[in-house]
Structure 1
Amino acid sequence: MNRISPKALLHSKWTKTTVVNKERHFVVTEIEFNEDKKIIRAVIQAVINHAEYEIDWRELKDGNLWLIGWQ
């Protein structure tokens, strides 16, 4: 399980463990918080083609799906 600080999530780098469409490396480009300082929206961008995807940021905690940094 990856440990994530919501405050440090913006601009963090991630590697997806399974490659889809040659997209493996990603950067978190947008984070939106509600009034309780909880994340309500997260957007990642593929490094290879700049495609953006809205994801549930909690998925990044799953070490079987995501690795911290570019590997």
Structure 2
Amino acid sequence: MNGAPALRLNPAKLLRSKWTACVPVNKEKHFMVVALIEPQPGAPIVCVTMEALHSGRQFALAWQALRESAVWRQGWV
């Protein structure tokens, strides 16, 4: 890690947030959180569904992974 402080995130407010991958894969760089995944209604959020703007491909990701500044940047850069 580069020594930068961890990004503080509230998982309940991630829906429709925008993210940029620091290392694009398959020309996919810009993503949006399109769903919050909770194991059962009312339980804490464990994952988010990310959607690539370029291809529309979706994948699940542990929301805590978005804190990793070497992998994700908040917003579209």
TM-score normalised by structure 1 residue count: 0.89
Match of 2:44, as an amino acid?
A: K
1:65 equivalent in structure 2? 71
Cα offset for 1:6?
1.1
Q: Which runs of 4+ in 1 moved over 2 A?
A: 32-37
- Describe the SS at the equivalent of 2:54: coil
- Percent identical residues: 31
1:46 equivalent in structure 2? 52
Mapped contact 2:12–2:45 kept (Cα < 8 A):
no
Taking the aligned partners of 2:72 and 2:56, their CA distance within structure 1 comes to 18
TM-score normalised by structure 2 residue count: 0.83
Structure 2 residues without counterparts, runs of 5 or longer:
1-5
2:3 equivalent in structure 1? none
- Describe the SS at the equivalent of 2:64: helix
Mapped contact 2:37–2:49 kept (Cα < 8 A):
no
1:32 equivalent in structure 2? 37
Quick check: which has more Rg, 1 or 2?
2
Matched length:
71
Taking the aligned partners of 2:72 and 2:18, their CA distance within structure 1 comes to 10
Mapped contact 1:2–1:67 kept (Cα < 8 A):
no
Q: 2:20 aligns with which of 15, 24, 28?
A: 15
Note the alpha carbon deviations across 1:37-57, whole angstroms, 9 max, x for none: 411231000000100011111
